[in-house]
Structure 1
């Protein structure tokens, strides 16, 4: 009897110890995917040798889209991957996900759709599956996706011959692996930055620009109040949302304390600007998007507006986009053949992918020229010189704010368990 009691007490003590010492969410924040995986799975399922390989020289992240480039980004050689397929092979499940490489920075690997796990990276070239490697070894900065059901995915790109050396696996080349780790959000990391227009310091003209103020609308006041409406809608869905201004300060889009600096400091994924415009012909809202994108986020919002019978302007300058979605007009610097976005909200918020800090007068943003970029649009709320346009906006702004928030969440899969990456 005494022995039985001692055994029972020992078992209970052991069970309590294991229960109390189990990893918490905070503990799991410090654990890598490799630490969470069964070593036997890695040793058995990771492929050891490859006859066909493919060298990648560069990569970038825009919003939640990861893109690979055969040459350094911005060089003509980067176009050589357009039309090929990137394949991610989940080491544990052996499931493969395919992503088409397009010419735009918002088409590529949709990071928010990936299940947690360790992925090998391949590229199909001329119908041959080739293992991706980099010339130099590196571990990327960890990228966190948007909050979704109070969780995020922390994603890191690794390329090293010795990445799996702890498991007895070494390679001759720096093969690329993608770690996807489910975690709880970090307080200081934001999801969306909303940028109310007006009250801007123009670095190029070195003047304060108060914005459009007419008999019918005050741009600084109206964009600020509208941004708050969208902020409340997004926060009700669990996202962390920041505003670029809450006072009447003339802030610019350049420097660490600027409007885009707010997003870069907090590693936000989306940067949405709101403005009022003046035009002799247009009456309803429209959306501007970067030269380097397909305008996928803008298209999602435009589609949502029409689904809710909300009017938008009949304007476009590219047949890829929906009506009311307009590509930035673009500008060039002397001696360069590259076209840059005119709107700083688009150009200076996209990090490496939109050439932030590259223009001569944007040197204050050079610290952001190689970082992950925010996906950005400029939403034109109303024609400030048209009374009927402003009246339509005033009558529908609550529904407009909700529809924009709904479209953002639909686009990034917030509130959904997305497993449609390969579809």
Structure 2
């Protein structure tokens, strides 16, 4: 008979440990390979990863008081809320009110004050991941914000920060958390903030080098202001490339809106504003010149629907860098070298609600009444769009040789400071 080799206890234990070790390694390898990647997270929201039981316990369902709103505007990275439909009330009842956000999962409170301008309100770029309930104070009484009609707004994407962006879901619906078995009795407003890597098709800043503009009325190209010292079309695109480089060094994605020999206008599906809207840019920066013989240094024009916050920051940075701006301003809330765009006069001589510069009017979406002015009506597809924060930087005057000389001497410093002002304002 053959002898049967009996395995001793020590050998058996070793074999079992080895099998278990291999099994654990296989399971770990499987979990590692099948884990959600950064690309997978692009299709997820914060709600897909949340602890549902905790969410059910933390979300408030009953309130002593609630406050009904009717409208909202997105401009740059700011969400503004309105008691009346936007533009129908000269002074909206939300003006001066605090907007309070409660992060449901950790009870963190964030507060913003809406002063009536479209660059005030909720600073979306500053929000951390989470599910936020929205409140306001009405005569010192805290009230939960809701809307009469349910909606889910288009996703809002913030600027790039440390190679990441945040997608913001703004929703007001009593069934908003139905999948999480949470039922509400009104269309209470929520902000759901999700952080992930940015999509390659979404940009942060678009730059419009003024000049070489198609004039649809005359069916001809407006080549821009020029003189023996400076040609707007070619100089603007060279300046744009310098600003683009400085912004990209800060991690932002930047698109120049025309090539050197292109002549897109400010209307239509291939116009400069449309190109900016299509890539979901947050900032629309126009670079151009003027013919004012008194302007011996650069200055900025911004929308009168804003607080001039971006332009004021750029002005502050330039002053600290020792750069000169033309010493003008519309009012004392603005820093030196900052002007509001003018309103176009109507047939009866009174001001309309439409701004003069298409670089500001046609880029701000609903906030600046994009697509509603004039007979062409070629930007009507963007009249309800989220607004890009418009800034027109006038870098020189062709009728002032001192201005042209100053620009040429300081072009690199101006590009650097302009980029610095943008990243400072948005805290990139």
| TM-score where L is the length of structure 2 | 0.94
- The alignment status of 1:360 with 2:374, answered yes or no, reads yes
Cα distance in 2 for partners of 1:220, 1:195 equals: 11
Match of 1:295 among 268, 289, 308: 308
Q: Give the superposition deviation at 1:237.
A: 1.5
Q: Which residue of structure 1 aligns with residue 408 of structure 2? A: 394
CA RMSD of aligned residues (A): 1.5
CA distance in structure 2 between the partners assigned to 1:294 and 1:398 by the alignment: 28
User: For 2:380, what is the secondary structure of its paired residue?
Assistant: helix
Aligned counterparts of 1:88 and 1:204: Cα–Cα separation in 2: 48
1:338, distance to aligned residue in structure 2 (A): 4.3
Distance across 1 between alignment mates of 2:309 and 2:334: 8
Residue 385 of structure 1 corresponds to 399
Q: 2:256 matched to which residue of 1?
A: 243
1:130-145 to 2 correspondences below 5 Å: 130-145=143-158
Between 199-208 and 105-114, report the one with greater CA deviation.
199-208
Q: Note the residue ranges of structure 2 that are not aligned, 5 or more in a row.
A: 1-12
Aligned residues: 414
Checking the alignment, whether the CA contact within 8 Å between 1:211 and 1:220 is kept in structure 2 is yes
Q: Is the 8 A contact 2:78 2:119 kept in 1?
A: yes
Report how far residue 56 of structure 1 moved.
1.2
2:194 aligned counterpart, secondary structure: strand
Name the CA distance, whole Å, in 2 between partners of 1:143 and 1:410. Answer: 21
Distance 1:146 1:204 in 2: 36
Partners of 2:65 and 2:246 lie apart in 1 by: 49
Deviation larger for 186-195 or 4-13? 4-13
Q: Is it true that 1:254 corresponds to 2:254 in the alignment?
A: no
In structure 2, what is the equivalent of residue 339 of structure 1? 353
Equivalent residue for 1:371, pick from 359, 366, 385 = 385
Contact 2:344 2:351 in 1 (8 A): no
Normalised TM-score (structure 1): 0.95
Distance 1:407 1:274 in 2: 15
Match of 1:314 among 312, 327, 335: 327
* 2: CA distance, partners of 1:17 / 1:281: 71
**Could you tell me which of 152, 159, 162 is aligned with 2:165?**
152
Distance 1:250 1:165 in 2: 50
After superposition, residues 113-262 of structure 1 pair within 5 angstroms as 113-204=126-217, 206-262=219-275
Q: State the match for 1:350 in structure 2.
A: 364
- Where has structure 1 moved over 6 Å in runs of 4 or more? none
- Change in Cα spacing, 1:13 to 1:45, as seen in structure 2 (3 Å) is same
Q: Determine the C-alpha separation between the residues in 2 that align with 1:361 and 1:323.
A: 36
